[in-house]
Amino acid sequence: MSPLLQAESLYRFYHAGDDETLALQGVSFGVEAGEMVAVTGPSGSGKSTLLGCLAGLDEPTAGMVSVDGQRLSRRPEAERAAIRASSIGMLFQSANLVEHLTVSENVQLAQRVAGHRDRDRTMQVIEDVGLGARAHARPSQLSGGESARAGLAVALANDPKVILADEPTGELDGVTAQRVVELLRARARAGAAVVIVTHNPAVADDADREITLADGRVRS
């Protein structure tokens, strides 16, 4: 059995004029169902590039990503989008919320993209992140901590097998950050593979495993 999320020899080079940036230089690792892995490393070490490749938002220059035994890399964007919508939840520092939709409509949008329509699940996920009372608020009416949790509700909308979070606690106060990490941990306990990019040593300590990047490589 291969891990739920697998990165195999990922390379990602960026070209701009004569400049070449070797953002990823052969990154391989697997994340099992039930595991929470922290990705750390200095700024510019390739963490966000890695997450983009794992999510299928970006295509690696070489190597491949697979999710639940399904190859995600080197497929047409529409196919990657379908796998992403049904199997992957993404959480970014700036919550991925559509401004003119309420919290509940944002969650429903993510569900519709994946072909789901389940009002009970919509409310359940909003209650799970502690936003039951704010389900009908728009993003501009939410505090920083509430937006972070709304972004988390969107990421969890389809009960994804794989959750990828890029510094989700970066701009949160300690209590909210801890709550977000606890919710991610709960998803791992329920069988998801969770990858969390973080600068926060407490979050890294909380993970089952820490993968540190330096210059686009896993530091051993």
Point out which residues bind Mg ion (CB under 5 A): 47-48
Element (H, E) at 110: helix 103-113
Please state, in angstroms and rounded to a whole number, the distance separating the CA atoms of residues 206 and 17: 42
Closest approach of Cβ 143 to ligand ADP, in Å?
A: 26
Choices 46-54, 72-80, 88-96, 129-137 (CB under 6 A): range interacting with ligand ADP: 46-54
Contact 47, 166 (CB under 8 A): yes
Cβ proximity to ligand ADP, 48 vs 122, nearer residue: 48
Under the binding rule (CB under 6 A), the answer on residue 45 touching ligand ADP is yes
Q: What does 140 bind: Mg ion, ligand ADP, none (CB cut-off 5 to 8 Å by kind)?
A: none
Which residue in the set 6, 8, 37, 49 belongs to the binding site for ligand ADP (CB under 6 A)?
A: 49
Number of H helices, E strands in the chain: 7, 10
Which amino acid appears at position 19 of this protein?
Answer: D
Cβ proximity to ligand ADP, 5 vs 23, nearer residue: 23
Cβ proximity to ligand ADP, 27 vs 153, nearer residue: 27
Cβ proximity to Mg ion, 12 vs 134, nearer residue: 12
Q: Which residue is nearest to Mg ion (CB)?
A: 48
Cβ proximity to ligand ADP, 16 vs 78, nearer residue: 16
Closest approach of Cβ 162 to Mg ion, in Å?
A: 19
Buried b (16+ CB within 10 A) or exposed e, 113-149: ebebeeeebbeebbebbbbeebbebbbeebeebbbbb
Residue with tokens 């052969």: 26
Count of beta carbons in the 10 Å neighbourhood of residue 92: 17
Please state, in angstroms and rounded to a whole number, the distance separating the CA atoms of residues 13 and 24: 7
Closest approach of Cβ 74 to ligand ADP, in Å?
A: 19
Written as one string, the DSSP assignment of 115-156 is T---HHHHHHHHHHTT-GGGTT--GGGS-HHHHHHHHHHHHT
Which residue in the set 37, 47, 53, 91 belongs to the binding site for ligand ADP (CB under 6 A)?
A: 47
Choices 3-11, 14-22, 127-135, 184-192 (CB under 6 A): range interacting with ligand ADP: 14-22
Please state, in angstroms and rounded to a whole number, the distance separating the CA atoms of residues 145 and 158: 22
Choices 38-46, 67-75, 117-125, 137-145 (CB under 6 A): range interacting with ligand ADP: 38-46
DSSP tag of 24: E
Which positions touch ligand ADP (CB under 6 A)?
Answer: 14, 16, 21, 23, 41, 43-49
